[in-house]
Amino acid sequence: MITLTVDGIETTVGVGATVLEAARSVQRHVPTLCFDDRQAPFGACRVCLVAVEGAPGPVAACTTPVRDGMVVDTQDERARRIAANVVELVLSELPHAPAEHTELATVARHFRLGAPRWTGAVHPTRHEDDHPYLAFRHELCISCGRCVRACDEVQGTFALTAAGRGFQANVAAGLDEGFRLSACVACGACADTCPTDAIDEVVLLSMLEPEPEN
């Protein structure tokens, strides 16, 4: 077992546990975006940054293993500022704010972010509506990779792949021809894990979107 302190609270966790798990063991909240309990940690978004005594800079809580005697500060000002800037940058690239119930909106509220301070290029609107159960709003994709991992690790289907790089990064179903022509078995794991509703179940989307006017 490993003993460490998180925000001054001593905790003991198993060997191989992460800083995020240690924080949760003492009810300390660390925001996450690319992390899903059901998947192996990915460490892509840098939203879960915390300070560790002796470390040269903030570390990602979701991928950093605990050490005996570690001293973790989840409220470190520098770590919070960097993480908040990351989230604000992500928001600034969306054509509109994420729906209030999404994880991205929850994380934005955690950092008390309003409308992004920067305006620049936003992801172009591109909708895939050809599948009876799943819809894809590509412009809301923040490339967290959760849907791809859910498809691979949870369902074992490999219908989704990460596509593009940098600002162009997105996700493709099959050969980017939509869910219907991919290996998708409509399990819904991708929609369930997506933190922005970029992938959503058609029935849920229809409840959120206003009826078109006649």
The 121-150 contact track toward ligand SF4, x by CB under 6 A, reads: --------------------xxxxxxx---
Q: Which residue in the set 4, 17, 48, 184 belongs to the binding site for ligand FES (CB under 6 A)?
A: 48
Which listed option, ligand SF4, ligand FES, none, makes contact with residue 44 (CB within 5 to 8 Å by class)?
A: ligand FES
Q: Which residue in the set 6, 23, 44, 198 belongs to the binding site for ligand FES (CB under 6 A)?
A: 44
Which listed option, ligand SF4, ligand FES, none, makes contact with residue 171 (CB within 5 to 8 Å by class)?
A: ligand SF4
Of 43-51, 123-131, 133-141, 206-214: span binding ligand FES (CB under 6 A): 43-51
Which listed option, ligand SF4, ligand FES, none, makes contact with residue 184 (CB within 5 to 8 Å by class)?
A: none
Which listed option, ligand SF4, ligand FES, none, makes contact with residue 143 (CB within 5 to 8 Å by class)?
A: ligand SF4
Run of H or E including 11: strand 9-13
Q: Is residue 31 within 8 Å of residue 47, measured between CB atoms?
A: yes
Which listed option, ligand SF4, ligand FES, none, makes contact with residue 48 (CB within 5 to 8 Å by class)?
A: ligand FES
Confirm or reject binding of residue 43 to ligand FES (CB under 6 A): yes
Q: Which residue in the set 107, 171, 173, 184 belongs to the binding site for ligand SF4 (CB under 6 A)?
A: 171
Q: What is the largest CA-CA distance in the chain?
A: 66
Distant-in-sequence contacts of 189-193, Cβ < 8 A, 24+ apart: 189/147, 189/150, 189/151, 189/154, 189/155, 190/134, 190/146, 190/147, 190/150, 190/151, 190/160, 191/134, 191/147, 192/150, 193/36, 193/38, 193/39, 193/146, 193/147, 193/149, 193/150
Confirm or reject binding of residue 18 to ligand FES (CB under 6 A): no
Helix residue spans in the chain (DSSP H): 19-25, 77-92, 103-110, 146-149, 189-193, 202-208
Q: Compute how many residues bind ligand SF4; rule: CB under 6 A.
A: 14
How far is 13 from 152, CA to CA, in rounded Å? 29
How far is 146 from 110, CA to CA, in rounded Å? 21
Q: Which residues bind ligand SF4 (CB under 6 A)?
A: 141-147, 171, 193-196, 198-199
